[in-house]
Structure 1
Amino acid sequence: MKTKVLIISYSNFASDPRVLRQLQILGADHEIMEAGRQASGQGNSFVQLKEIQAFHVEYPYFIKKGLSLFFKLYRENLLLKVFKKYEQYYWDFLRVNVKSKLVDFNPKVVIANDIDALPLAVAIKEKTGAKVILDAHEFSPLQMTNLEHWEKYISPYKYYLSEKYIPFTDYCFTVSKGIAEEYESLAGKPFSIFRNSPRFIDLEPSAVENDKIQLIHHGAAIPGRNLELMFDIIAFLDERFVLNLILIPTVPEYYSKLVERAKNSKKIVIHSPVPTEEIPMFINQFDLGIFILPPSNFNYKHALPNKFFEFIQGRLGVAIGPSVEMSPYVKQYDLGVVASDFSAESIAVLLNSLDKSQVEAFKMNAHLAAKELAIDKELAYFHKVVNEIA
């Protein structure tokens, strides 16, 4: 009989690479229930986690919308901001309702993806005796502290959830060393590193053209990531360089702004989005992956994202700023260039100095490091942890 595992994530399972890896490594020998915004189709069953937005279906539309707005304002303005009633704020009627459905599944292990899922996981543990694994993707209390509203109201709430509920976990993972150390200091529980890396993909580096160096950046179009910086960089680069972009329109207005700006340059090419699992194969045609992320908040400072490791599995060289988690990998494996700061000029000077043979060497070094930097060993360890605590 297969062990029952409940995976909770307030995300779309089908487009969340980290959650998909959990499903893929556990699916063969566990009965999986997904609880999230949208199912991946890889689990055995699914429960949708909804937002508070509608009331009883028999109410007229304008009454439902009015009640929903009132309830939302009550929660956010009174419970969260004024009285700081964080438990009441968390346990809205939708979470109370979904908890009973998840308890009925009677899992042996509950995997809570990020702090938002953890109180729900702990409540299920109290009812069923299940073990709880926290996969804290990032350091939730400081996730968007570059935004004033978030820093003032959401950050204290996330600190409360972290300090109260992490002690009830049975095992904890996160994405990078700096984030692990911050959580350990906060909650007094050890955290293991489970990187945002794809599995090993058997590819060869593509050829570098004599007179072209193809840059590639892929990911969500989010204003806080300051993607305009890449447009500034390409303006400083010589005619050999082409900037290829694969952008997800996470913030549609911002995405449209970037696309419009790209139209004004002959050196920028916009590509259609690619399914997550196909990214390394698609970007293999390019030469250097570029990701310049100024450390505007704690998580950006300690970012070690999917795209960095997808560059490597795609057998690309890498161009980054002095990011504290990524730069040690680039230097250790000689994968590319690390600028001295996050300015467009600093990155451009380094890139303009490269010749074809250097780019080829970076791509070959990525090829040599691809197996070691793939997630396969960590997935096996994750699988072992689930089985041992079940």
Structure 2
Amino acid sequence: MKLLKICCSKWVNESRDYRELGVYSEEGAEISVLVKGDIGDKPKKDIVEGFEVLRYTTKPFGEKAPSAFNKLISLFQWASFARKQQPDIISGHDLLALTIGWLSTFFTINKPKLIYDSHEFEIGRNADRSGFSKWLVLHWEQFMIKRSTLTIVVNESIADEVAKLYELDEKPTVVRNIPISFEVDEAECKKVKKQYLEKLGVEKLLIYHGLVCSGRGIESTIEALSMLESVGLVVVGNPDSPEYLEKLRQMTRQFNVEKRVDFHDAVPHEVLWKFVGAADLGIVMISPVSKSYYYALPNKLFECIQSGVPVIGSDLPEIKKVVVGYNVGALAIPDNAASIAEAVKGLICDQEAYDSVKSNVELAKKQLCWENEKVVLAKAFNKISQ
């Protein structure tokens, strides 16, 4: 059985895809991944995380050709190339990738089954979409879901919304973006923590990890530091632009906390636990700038839990289910520095409360791991691959 995954990006650090494809491989599938390549790649073969990767250009007529023309032609070139792979199943990383997979089934006798692997709430993903764009996405996604054998979403709220929106007989399959169990060396975490406490001159440590960009609560957390005594912040991740990183540095000076904030480049996933596990609290403050963000259930939440660290999370539906349901931290109002500061104080100033949530984190990490979550995916995949 051959499975082709289509992803219209460079396919870098796609940890969720790696885990999902690992499940398909365990169930006997032969995996290939069609991804974005450079000019001239038609395709360029590569190996990533043990999977065959086929890098195909999205600019068949080079840099000088109009972007829209390149995209239109590459859409059909990708579909043609995908058909030549003769897959039994095609998994689309998003709506565009799924569309390419669907186009590749034209004029074929044994049509491959389609998997819609939706990583976000597509219709609510971009708050800046025009009315026509929303209408188009709404109707196209409904059209494509009806032609997919399996639709996967990342949480129950999105599953409920999609099922209601498109009047589906069966809810999409929920597979949360949960990491494989971390093996944490507490002695190493304590060593890293000691270094940061001395460097920043503080007694308690907060950490944010992930893409350093707006909408992730970093700015509000920096402001919250000015309301907290002897608390430092480590920001681990690469900025989406040098300008945004400089903006954050300016904010640390504005609130007179520059000596208590450290910016660190992104680290390999296999050593992430060293940094997250060094903190007293993890910051998971997603701002509801769109409906997709409102329903967000970020993997950094589970990475904090796997690292043994309680969290300060956004008071949003899916994050709240985990933080309150497992009692692994406290909630705060996104983009509200005072609320974040109050939530932090509620834990670091009350040792009994902190010890309680810390113990709950250790219990939760045994349940909230990929080893458990992948069972749902394996069952759904087996059902369609028979």
- Shared fold, TM over 0.5: yes
Output aligned runs, 1:137-156, within 5 Å. 137-145=119-127, 147=128, 150-152=129-131, 154-156=133-135
CA distance in 1, matches of 2:274, 2:85: 38
Deviation at 1:223, TM superposition (A): 2.7
Per the alignment, residue 323 of structure 1 pairs with 316
CA distance in 1, matches of 2:77, 2:68: 20
Per the alignment, residue 54 of structure 2 pairs with 47
Output aligned runs, 1:243-282, within 5 Å. 243-262=233-252, 265-282=258-275
Per the alignment, residue 365 of structure 1 pairs with 360
Per the alignment, residue 35 of structure 1 pairs with 34
More moved, 133-142 vs 18-27: 18-27
CA distance in 1, matches of 2:95, 2:165: 13
Taking only the aligned residue pairs, the percentage that are identical comes to 25
Per the alignment, residue 220 of structure 2 pairs with 229
Deviation at 1:269, TM superposition (A): 1.1
CA distance in 2, matches of 1:44, 1:218: 27
Amino acid at match of 1:255: L
Please give the root-mean-square deviation of Cα atoms over the aligned residues, in Å.
2.6
Q: Helix, strand or coil for the counterpart of 1:248?
A: coil
CA distance in 2, matches of 1:235, 1:358: 23
Deviations 1:177-218 (A, max 9, x none): 111112112333321111011012233666688972211111
Amino acid at match of 2:29: H
Deviation at 1:334, TM superposition (A): 1.4
Output aligned runs, 1:202-241, within 5 Å. 202-203=183-184, 212-239=203-230, 241=231
Residue from 357, 374, 382 that aligns with 2:369: 374
Deviation at 1:372, TM superposition (A): 0.5
The 1:215–1:226 alpha-carbon spacing in structure 2 relative to 1, beyond 3 Å, is closer
Q: Does 1:287 align with 2:280?
A: yes
CA distance in 1, matches of 2:300, 2:51: 29
Q: List gaps (5 residues or longer) in structure 1.
A: 57-63, 73-90
Q: Does 1:186 align with 2:165?
A: yes
Output aligned runs, 1:75-154, within 5 Å. 92-126=72-106, 127=108, 128-145=110-127, 147=128, 150-152=129-131, 154=133
Amino acid at match of 1:194: V
The 1:71–1:113 alpha-carbon spacing in structure 2 relative to 1, beyond 3 Å, is closer
User: Is contact 1:13-1:40 (8 Å) kept?
Assistant: no
Q: Helix, strand or coil for the counterpart of 1:129?
A: coil
CA distance in 1, matches of 2:259, 2:68: 50
* Number of aligned residue pairs: 357
Residue from 328, 338, 350 that aligns with 1:345: 338
The 1:223–1:201 alpha-carbon spacing in structure 2 relative to 1, beyond 3 Å, is closer
Output aligned runs, 1:10-29, within 5 Å. 10-28=8-26, 29=28
Deviation at 1:387, TM superposition (A): 3.2
Amino acid at match of 1:220: L
Per the alignment, residue 195 of structure 1 pairs with 176
User: Is contact 2:36-2:56 (8 Å) kept?
Assistant: yes
Amino acid at match of 1:367: E
Deviations 1:89-148 (A, max 9, x none): xx8110101111111111111111121211112223443421111111111121121x3x
CA distance in 1, matches of 2:87, 2:223: 51
Q: List gaps (5 residues or longer) in structure 2.
A: 38-45
Amino acid at match of 1:155: K
User: Is contact 1:23-1:42 (8 Å) kept?
Assistant: no
Residue from 298, 308, 332 that aligns with 2:325: 332
The 1:258–1:157 alpha-carbon spacing in structure 2 relative to 1, beyond 3 Å, is farther
CA distance in 2, matches of 1:308, 1:122: 34
CA distance in 2, matches of 1:349, 1:225: 18
The 1:235–1:152 alpha-carbon spacing in structure 2 relative to 1, beyond 3 Å, is farther
The 1:217–1:326 alpha-carbon spacing in structure 2 relative to 1, beyond 3 Å, is same
More moved, 244-253 vs 286-295: 244-253
User: Is contact 2:208-2:218 (8 Å) kept?
Assistant: no
More moved, 150-159 vs 114-123: 150-159
More moved, 34-43 vs 125-134: 34-43
User: Is contact 2:217-2:335 (8 Å) kept?
Assistant: no
Amino acid at match of 1:298: K
CA distance in 1, matches of 2:245, 2:137: 29
Deviation at 1:340, TM superposition (A): 5.5
CA distance in 2, matches of 1:220, 1:272: 10
The 1:196–1:40 alpha-carbon spacing in structure 2 relative to 1, beyond 3 Å, is farther
Deviation at 1:13, TM superposition (A): 2.6
Deviations 1:302-325 (A, max 9, x none): 110110110100110010231111
More moved, 217-226 vs 255-264: 255-264
Amino acid at match of 1:131: K
Q: Helix, strand or coil for the counterpart of 1:250?
A: coil
Deviations 1:343-390 (A, max 9, x none): 110121221233344334322221111020112222133133223312
The 1:381–1:293 alpha-carbon spacing in structure 2 relative to 1, beyond 3 Å, is closer
The TM-score normalised by the length of structure 2 is 0.84
User: Is contact 1:262-1:270 (8 Å) kept?
Assistant: no
CA distance in 2, matches of 1:129, 1:70: 29
User: Is contact 1:34-1:43 (8 Å) kept?
Assistant: no
Amino acid at match of 2:227: F
Per the alignment, residue 293 of structure 2 pairs with 300
Deviation at 1:168, TM superposition (A): 0.2
Amino acid at match of 1:389: I
